[in-house]
Amino acid sequence: HAADTRWRDHLLDAADRNVTMVQCSPTSVGPIDRLAEERGGQLSRQQSAEAAERPFYEFGWNHTTLHALRSDKSTTYLQAVLEPARALELVRTVEAEFGADELMQHLEVVNFNGRAGFASLALLWPRG
């Protein structure tokens, strides 16, 4: 389903990769690019807020869900807060249950009393 988005040309081979969208100040782009490279990733798109066709937050959290629901009435979603210590385990459990053809993970990093955790609003296309 990622290939059907307006960002398809910037998602590289998204079916086999994780995609991270980061909103940051212009002075943080260099450090973020280096961090991605150190971990085998790459920066595939960079754009100033002024040059953007629509605000970046339209691609985040509930905005993404609303766009998906409008474009495909069969879409639903799973909303969850993932306990920081078990976040990766819980993401993998959900992926194992549904599979990539039925589920697109949508995670956002949130601060839980000083610890990084995830809020999840995974998009789901239930099978027939």
Write down the pTM of the prediction.
Answer: 0.57
Please tell me the predicted confidence (pLDDT) of residue 30.
94
Confidence label for 37 from pLDDT (cuts 50, 70 and 90): very high
pLDDT (mean) for 5-32: 74
pLDDT (mean) for 82-100: 86
pLDDT (mean) for 37-59: 82
Q: For residues 119 and 106, what is the distance between their CA atoms, to the nearest angstrom?
A: 8
Q: Is the pLDDT of residue 5 over 60?
A: no
Please tell me the predicted confidence (pLDDT) of residue 121.
86
- Count CB-CB contacts under 10 A for residue 122: 19
For the chain, percent of residues with pLDDT exceeding 90: 11
Annotated domain spans of the chain? 1-59, 74-128
Please tell me the predicted confidence (pLDDT) of residue 27.
93
Q: Dmax of the chain from CA atoms?
A: 48
Q: Is the pLDDT of residue 61 over 70?
A: no
The CA R_g of the chain, rounded to the nearest whole Å, is: 15
Place of tokens 């194992």: 96
